[in-house]
C-alpha cells in the first residue's frame, strides 16, 4: 500500500484570517474524513492516523483551527469560541465542495462535531468522539483552565519532551521518551526566538477566563439573592444530533474530562454506538492505540 502524502492548503475566514489545513488526496466519490483537533492541538495531532486512512484511498482533511499551527492568530481573541470555529469550518467545507463527511473529533473537535451535526442535519455521515461528551468533568475543566495560555518554552526538543513527561506523565504512563518526543513535535514548534514553544496563540485562554469569571459572578449573585445559580449548558441535545449516524466513542479510562458514567450513558442513549475504553490512558487518547484504530477502521468500512 503506497504511503499517503499531503499538501498544505488554506482558506479564508469571514473575518479575513488565513486558515491552514493538511489535505490528503483521495477518491472524490467516497465520503471524506475531517479530523478536528483539541483545544491546544493542531492538525499534526493526526499525522499517523490521517495517512493510515488516506492510504485506503479516502480523502482526509486536518485543519488547524484559528490561532493554532499554521493558521493565523485572531485579531479579536474573543473569537476563539466554538460558534466561530464552526463558522470557519463551514468555509473549509465550501472551499473543498464537501456536503457530507465523516468526522473524527478530539475533545474540542468532538464538541464541534456535535455542533456541526446539530446545525446542519445530514452533514455528518458518521463520527468518532475522542474522549469528549455532553458532560465535561469539572476536575478536567479546572485543569484545562489552569494550564491554557501559560507560555512555557524549552531550549531543545529533548527538554520539551521531558517537560511534557513531567506534566502529562499520568495521562500517558506507558510512553517512552521517543513517544514524548513525537508528542512534543505535534504540540510545539520552533519559535522566532529560537526556543520551542506550544504552537497556539496564548490568547485562546481569554474566552475561557471570561466564561469562568461570568460563572463566578453569577454564582456570587445567586448566593447574595438566595436563588439558584444558572444551570450549566446542556450539550445532550447536540449529542442527540448524532443519533442517525454510526458513532465511535473513544474513552481514556483515566480521563478527567470524559467520565466512565458519561461514556456509558452515551453508549446507552445512542442506538449505534461503539464504546472503546482504553486502559492506562487519560485525556486524550492519541488515536494511534490499536483498539482505537481498529474501531475507526471498522466505522470507515461501514461507510464505504
Percent with pLDDT over 90 in the chain: 83
Q: Which of the four pLDDT bands, split at 50, 70 and 90, describes residue 226?
A: confident
Does residue 57 sit within a domain?
yes
In a domain, 168, yes or no: no
Dihedral Cα 238, 67, 140, 90, nearest 10 deg: 10
Of the CA atoms within 13 Å of residue 205, those in its CB half-sphere come to 13
Q: Which residues of 12-34 are buried (b: 16+ CB within 10 A; e: fewer)?
A: ebeeebebbbbbbebeeeebbbb
With beta carbons less than 8 A apart as the criterion, state whether 60 and 53 touch.
yes
Q: What is the pLDDT of residue 3?
A: 59
Whichever domain contains 24, its CATH number is 3.40.50.1820
pLDDT of residue 176: 97
Is 115 among the domain residues? Answer: yes
Summarize pLDDT for 74-132 with one digit per residue, the tens. Answer: 999 999 999 999 999 999 999 999 999 999 999 999 999 999 999 999 999 999 999 99
| 248 located within any domain | yes
What is the enclosing helix (H) or strand (E) of 24? strand 18-24
Give the torsion through C-alpha atoms of 304, 107, 85, 296, to 10 deg.
-10
Number of Cβ within a 10 Å radius of residue 55? 15
pLDDT at residue 1, as a whole number = 44
pTM of the model: 0.94
* Mean pLDDT within 147-154: 84
Domain count, the chain: 1
Is residue 191 over pLDDT 50? Answer: yes
| Residues spanned by the domain of 260 | 7-147+234-302
Query: Does the residue 219 lie in any domain?
Result: no
Asked, for residue 244, whether it belongs to a domain, the answer is: yes
pLDDT in tens, 244-302: 999 999 999 999 999 999 999 999 999 999 999 999 999 999 999 999 999 999 999 99
Across 26-44, average pLDDT? 96
Amino acid at each position: 500500500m503506497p504511503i499517503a502524502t499531503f499538501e498544505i492548503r488554506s482558506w479564508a475566514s469571514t473575518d479575513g484570517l488565513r486558515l491552514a489545513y493538511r489535505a490528503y488526496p483521495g477518491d472524490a466519490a467516497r465520503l471524506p474524513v475531517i479530523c478536528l483537533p483539541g483545544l491546544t492541538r493542531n492538525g499534526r495531532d493526526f499525522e499517523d492516523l490521517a495517512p493510515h486512512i488516506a492510504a485506503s484511498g479516502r480523502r482526509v482533511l486536518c485543519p488547524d483551527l484559528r490561532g493554532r499551527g499554521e493558521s493565523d492568530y485572531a485579531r479579536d481573541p474573543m473569537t476563539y469560541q466554538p460558534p466561530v470555529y464552526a463558522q470557519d469550518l463551514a468555509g473549509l467545507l465550501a472551499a473543498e465542495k464537501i456536503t457530507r463527511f465523516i468526522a473524527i473529533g478530539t475533545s474540542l473537535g468532538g464538541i464541534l462535531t456535535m455542533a456541526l451535526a446539530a446545525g446542519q442535519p445530514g452533514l455528518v455521515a458518521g463520527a468518532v468522539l475522542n474522549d469528549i461528551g455532553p458532560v465535561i468533568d469539572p476536575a478536567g475543566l479546572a485543569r484545562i483552565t489552569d494550564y491554557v495560555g501559560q507560555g512555557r518554552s524549552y531550549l531543545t526538543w529533548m527538554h520539551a519532551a521531558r517537560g511534557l513527561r513531567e506534566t502529562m506523565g499520568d495521562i500517558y504512563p506507558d510512553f517512552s521518551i521517543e513517544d514524548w518526543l513525537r508528542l512534543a513535535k505535534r504540540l510545539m514548534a520552533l519559535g522566532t526566538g529560537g526556543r520551542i514553544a506550544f504552537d497556539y496563540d496564548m490568547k485562546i485562554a481569554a474566552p475561557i477566563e471570561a466564561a469562568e469569571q461570568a460563572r463566578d459572578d453569577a454564582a456570587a449573585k445567586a448566593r447574595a439573592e438566595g436563588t439558584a445559580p444558572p444551570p450549566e449548558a446542556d450539550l445532550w441535545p447536540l449529542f442527540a444530533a448524532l443519533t442517525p449516524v454510526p458513532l465511535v466513542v473513544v474513552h481514556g479510562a483515566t480521563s478527567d474530562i470524559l467520565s466512565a458514567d458519561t461514556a456509558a450513558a452515551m453508549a446507552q442513549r445512542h442506538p449505534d454506538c461503539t464504546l472503546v475504553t482504553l486502559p492506562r490512558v487519560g485525556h486524550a487518547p492519541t488515536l494511534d492505540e490499536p483498539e482505537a484504530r481498529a474501531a475507526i477502521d471498522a466505522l470507515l468500512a461501514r461507510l464505504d
